Structure formats: C-alpha cells, structure tokens
Structure 1
Amino acid sequence: MTGPRRDPDGELRARLREAAGVHRPDRARILARVERGRAAEDQEPARPRLPDWVRVAGATAAVAGVLVAGGCAVASVVRDDAPARHPVAAPPGSRETGSREAGSREAGSREAGSREAGPLWSSGAVDPHSNEFWAQSNITLGTSTALTALTVELRVAQTGSVTSTGAWRSLPADDFTFTLDERDGFLVYRWTLKEGRTVPAGEWVFAGQYNHGRGGRDAGGDRYSAAATAASGPLAVRGGFTPGG
C-alpha cells in the first residue's frame, strides 16, 4: 500500500513563505550601500550636456533612417512628375530691344526737359471737352519776360479722317500770322508773331481743332514746338500731349 503523494512545489512555496515571515531587512546595511553609491556619483566627472540642436539633429537622423526607404520612393515619384527646368535663354534681339527701350526712355526724359527753357515753359494737352468725333489740342506757353519773336507749331498726326475745324489763340489775332498745312502725315497749325509785335509776360494758349474717325483718338503721335526770342536770347521748347487735360 503506497503512502500519500508528495507535492515538492507546495513544500517549496511553504518554506519561502516561512522564510519571508521571519526575515528582517538590515536597514543599516542598505543605507550604507546607498550612501556609497551617492559618493561614487559625486566623484564621477560631469558629462557635458549636449546642445539642444545636437539632440534634435540626432533624433531627426534617426527618423530619417527609418523613413529612408519610403522617402526614396516618394522622391522618385516627385522627380518624375515635376517638369524639367532648363535655363531660360534671352530671345534673339532682346538686348537690342532693351537698348531701344532705354533709348526711348532717355529721349522721353530729354523731351520732358525741353518743355522749359530759361523764362519760357510749355505743356500740351488734349482738351477735356473733346469727344468721339471731334478734338482740340491745347498748347500752353508761359513766359516770365516779354518775347519779341515767337513761332508756335502744332502737328496733329493723321490717324484717320483727321480734318481741321479751326484754330484760336488767347493773344490778339492781329498780332499773328496763321497758316494751316498738311504734310508728312500731319496737320500742321502754325502761329507766327508779326514783326514789331511783342508777347507780354504771362500764360497763353494756342489751340487747334479737328474732326477725326469715330472713337477715342490716340494723340501719342502729336507734337508741338515753339521758338521764341527774349532779351536774354533765343529760346525753344517742345513736347507731346497728355490725354483729356
């Protein structure tokens, strides 16, 4: 007849519980060990703290390493979809065009400067009362001294159906000889001060009137000029016309 079966695992657990019950930790030894560990840390040289940008760069590099395989595939797709970029070559003659534009600006500056000469100044404008069939070009001359000779010329470009309807000036009509001519694609209005007459200091207007083709007329090709004589000597001004005043 066999005796009861032994339970080795159960006996082991019982002994462990018993040993745990009678164990008393050596508090003094534990505290001494902790103190020795702290002393060792105090004696160890301090490790330099890495700058924030180094730590961030390291983290970024780690992430980049993980994503490198997928990133290569994405980059390949982007490169294939993006249009190829090539150096842009200047079209033939662009330098020449730029030079012409610069020359035009320079010429415009010279023309604007020629609107004044000593005591004489001038301006040109399309009268604001002009309409889609008719227009008037006004030349304003100002002088701070008397003029003993004066010739004013208005040139209206033949832009289509341009025909004169008259002319006038704010100075006495008997002091001027007026002529109207058409040449080189322009209507030419000319006022010439008669010999022995004088233009006093002041501001004076010379105007030419004309019909033109229906619609807004471009006065960009119109020009005026004036040649005068004062006590200081000969004077000359010229210019173009601004639209509507």
Structure 2
Amino acid sequence: MSGGTGPARPGSARVQDGPLWSAGSLDASGNAYWAQSNVTLKTSQPLTALTLELRVAQTGGVQSTGNWRTLPAEDFTVTVRQEGGAVVYRWTLKPGRTVPAGQHVFAGQYNHAAGDREAGHDGYRVDAGGPRGALSVWGGFTPTR
C-alpha cells in the first residue's frame, strides 16, 4: 500500500482520520473451517480515491473462498493473492468513481485449518482521498462471537 505504517505491527491501529472511521471484525457466521473478516468504513464526506487492503495471516490452510463489498462491484478492481505469509485482498476504487458518504463494508472469506483460528496477526489498511485530502486508517480484528 502507499506509504504509512499500515497494519504491519499487530496491535497498532489508527481507526479514525478526520471524516473517515474504520473497524475490523470477524463475522459471527464463521465455523471451525471457514471465516469471514469484515472491514467497516464510515465516511462523512464522499471519497474520490480508495484502496483497502485486508491481510489474513497464513495460520495454516488459509485459502480465499471469495469477497464482497456493499458498494457496487463495477466501481472496484479487486485482487486476491498470497503475499508475505498472508492472503491479501485489495479493493481499489476505479478512476472517476466515488464512494458516497455513509457506512460501507468490505469482506474477505476464506477456509482455514480445522479449529479456532488466531486472527491476532491479521490487519487492514485504508488509504483514501476526498475534499480534505489524503486520509489513512488501519487496524486489526476483534471476534464478534
């Protein structure tokens, strides 16, 4: 991702930057073999640029099974790849598109080795742009169960 410290260090977080707020959570629908990590964004102003990166640490058997967002699919370029010991989901807003003010969710879904999966090394980072200039937020994940 572009610049900043991002989710590289477990436990580091900056969940608000001006009009942009974020939170990471593990979806309650997960089970002993499958999970979903959600990143919720709230923005009080439209965004003209957005890159959201979700990193799911390879804790054994982690393999992407899909992803989604509450914003229109055609507004984003999405990539998923194995990178640096993690499955990395990246959503990038296409040029000329806008993220409206409001609450939006991005989710990565994945299989994992049997049992409870430790998400302490997972993280996300959001780099955005809007009327107030460049904004960045990042953090980790908390269980919802």
Number of equivalences: 136
- Whole-Å separation in 2 of the counterparts to 1:141 and 1:216: 26
Q: Determine which of 121, 138, 142 is the counterpart of 1:238.
A: 138
Shift of 1:243: 1.3
> Which letter maps to 1:152?
L
CA deviations on 1:128-172 (whole Å, 9 max, x unpaired) are: 110000000000000000000000000000000111000000000
Give yes or no for the alignment of 1:184 onto 2:88: no
> Which letter maps to 1:159?
T
Give yes or no for the alignment of 1:146 onto 2:56: no
Structure 1, unaligned runs of 5 or more: 1-106
Secondary structure of the 1:174 match is: helix
- Whole-Å separation in 2 of the counterparts to 1:223 and 1:232: 25
CA deviations on 1:1-30 (whole Å, 9 max, x unpaired) are: xxxxxxxxxxxxxxxxxxxxxxxxxxxxxx
> Which letter maps to 1:224?
Y
> Which letter maps to 2:34?
W
- Whole-Å separation in 2 of the counterparts to 1:164 and 1:200: 28
2:3 corresponds in structure 1 to none
2:93 corresponds in structure 1 to 193
**Structure holding more strand per residue:** 2
Seq. identity, %? 61
- Whole-Å separation in 2 of the counterparts to 1:180 and 1:198: 22
Answer yes or no: is the 8 Å Cα contact 1:151–1:227 preserved in 2.
yes
Structure 2, unaligned runs of 5 or more: 1-9
- Whole-Å separation in 1 of the counterparts to 2:21 and 2:139: 11
RMSD of the TM alignment (CA)?
A: 1.1
TM-score normalised over the length of structure 1: 0.54
Moved runs in structure 1, 4+ residues, more than 2 A?
Answer: none
> Which letter maps to 1:139?
V
Q: Determine which of 4, 13, 17 is the counterpart of 1:117.
A: 17
Secondary structure of the 2:143 match is: coil
- Whole-Å separation in 2 of the counterparts to 1:216 and 1:201: 36
Q: Per chain length, whose mean CA-contact separation is higher, i.e. which structure has more relative contact order (CA < 8 Å, sep 6+)?
A: 2
Secondary structure of the 2:142 match is: coil
Secondary structure of the 1:130 match is: coil
